[in-house]
Amino acid sequence: MNLAATPEPSTPPRRARVVVVGAGPAGLTVANILRAASVDCVVLETESREFIEQRPRAGFIEEWAVRALEQRGLAERLLARAQTHGECEFRWAGERHRFAYGELSGHRHFVYPQPLLVTDLVRSYADEAGGDIRFGVRDVALHDIDTDHPSVSYTDRETGERTRIDCDAVAGCDGARGVTRTYLGAERATVARHDYGIGWLALLAEAPPSSDCVVFGIHPRGFAAHMARSPQVTRYYLECPPGDDPENWPHERVWSELHARLTVAGTPPLTEGRLIEKRVLDMHNYVVEPMSHGHLYLAGDAAHLAAPIAAKGMNLALHDAFLLGDALVAYCAEGNASELSGYSDACLPPVWQYQEFSQWLSELLHGASSGVPFEAGTAAARLRRILGSPAAAAAFAEIYIGKGAGV
């Protein structure tokens, strides 16, 4: 199937067992698993290596995902450098409430910025294992994915040459704005989407963290959050109208709102710093079902998006990648297609667990600022329940760290 007219290849076709489209956490994890099993694969990435190794995004990796990376020999630097967190704090109605989810669940978050994980995964795949990765490609197109001769073509940014790679399977790991999802088409997949009607101003500040844990500020002026990224850099979020212009948020306004929404009695003042990232996210989630068609298998944000409310997106991307990498190895190295056939069904239950939790947490975090008294009342009841009932606290702790979600 060709969705768009693409130029004819200008070089002889190459062959690989698997083409991985996209070098984010999902694609690079799949590629590393394939490479470790000596399955021939090529990774295609539109951006440069320098760009993907610096693109700031996630920072909280759940313990099960770290252990799965470790089992595959992909967590050495992470384990040497990451801090762990097992507590978060709700600041609400003028008071602070610590929540020890690590003690309750027996699991912790590892704080490791996404660009560092991507850097480690590129190094391990390309530099250490000699894997094939093409940066800066353009006009990636899939062909004949529902036949027994699928292929992927792309244009080399520097030479302008068009190359086709014949393969057995395509891993669509090109994120929320990629192309692979479009090859499933409306007749083959449904896209379930939820818009929160809320914006978050996502900020990175060149400032040390002002707390030793994640802080959720629940405030009638709007939600705010504080999350460590490194000893020198902190991520902050401020609820804002969806579609707001980051230019409406000069340095002074950002810090004044953060102080107003995150300060309660007994908290140390926030340490201010230069804002090195400032962008508005229109909060929405989606899930593509099924996550595969023909010889195309979607993984990560290409298949499902979780707004960063509960820090779940990269964790789910890694979960897909472990399943897909292992299934592709079973298929390519042993001729066993059963894991690939069951891939989508295996991924989707935890995807929906995390979607449901993100929606639930969003209602809790945004109720106070919704302007709707009923939503404010139910959000406050929900918060009192997890702070007051050991059973509710344990249930919250488990899903927050990913336990019992099927991951």
Binding site for ligand FAD (CB under 6 A): 21-27, 44-47, 52, 57-60, 114, 140, 173-175, 177-179, 202, 281, 300-301, 308, 311-315, 317
Contact 332, 324 (CB under 8 A): no
Which one, 234 or 263, has the nearer CB to ligand FAD?
234
**Shortest distance in whole angstroms from residue 56 CB to ligand FAD:** 7
Which one, 178 or 294, has the nearer CB to ligand FAD?
178
What are residue 151's DSSP bridge partners? 143, 166
Residues 6+ apart with CB under 8 A from 395: none
**Shortest distance in whole angstroms from residue 59 CB to ligand FAD:** 5
Q: ω before 290 within 30° of 0 (cis)?
A: yes
**Shortest distance in whole angstroms from residue 231 CB to ligand FAD:** 17
* C-alpha dihedral (101, 106, 110, 111), degrees to nearest 10: 20
**Shortest distance in whole angstroms from residue 227 CB to ligand FAD:** 7
**Shortest distance in whole angstroms from residue 336 CB to ligand FAD:** 25
**Shortest distance in whole angstroms from residue 160 CB to ligand FAD:** 17
**Shortest distance in whole angstroms from residue 331 CB to ligand FAD:** 21
Contact 36, 80 (CB under 8 A): no
Q: Is the dihedral of CA 381, 387, 389, 394 positive or negative?
A: positive
Which one, 159 or 336, has the nearer CB to ligand FAD?
159
Tokens representing residue 36 in the block: 């470790």
**Shortest distance in whole angstroms from residue 207 CB to ligand FAD:** 17
d(CA 397, CA 332): 39
For residue 14, the SS3 value is strand
Which one, 278 or 312, has the nearer CB to ligand FAD?
312
d(CA 346, CA 368): 37
What are residue 284's DSSP bridge partners? 195
**Residue 133, number of CB atoms within 10 A of its CB:** 19
Which one, 202 or 238, has the nearer CB to ligand FAD?
202
Which one, 21 or 264, has the nearer CB to ligand FAD?
21
For 212, half-sphere exposure in the C-beta direction (CA atoms, 13 angstrom radius) is: 7
Query: What is the DSSP secondary-structure string of 127-143?
Result: IIT--EEE-SEEEEEEE
Which one, 223 or 263, has the nearer CB to ligand FAD?
223
Tokens representing residue 209 in the block: 């963290």
What are residue 224's DSSP bridge partners? 217, 238
Which one, 58 or 264, has the nearer CB to ligand FAD?
58
Query: What is the DSSP secondary-structure string of 319-360?
Result: HHHHHHHHHHHHHHHH---HHHHTHHHHHHHHHHHHHHHHHH
Which one, 198 or 264, has the nearer CB to ligand FAD?
198
Q: Is the dihedral of CA 100, 103, 107, 111 positive or negative?
A: positive
**Shortest distance in whole angstroms from residue 66 CB to ligand FAD:** 12
**Shortest distance in whole angstroms from residue 267 CB to ligand FAD:** 22
* 368: phi then psi, degrees, rounded to nearest 5: -60, -30
Which one, 263 or 292, has the nearer CB to ligand FAD?
292
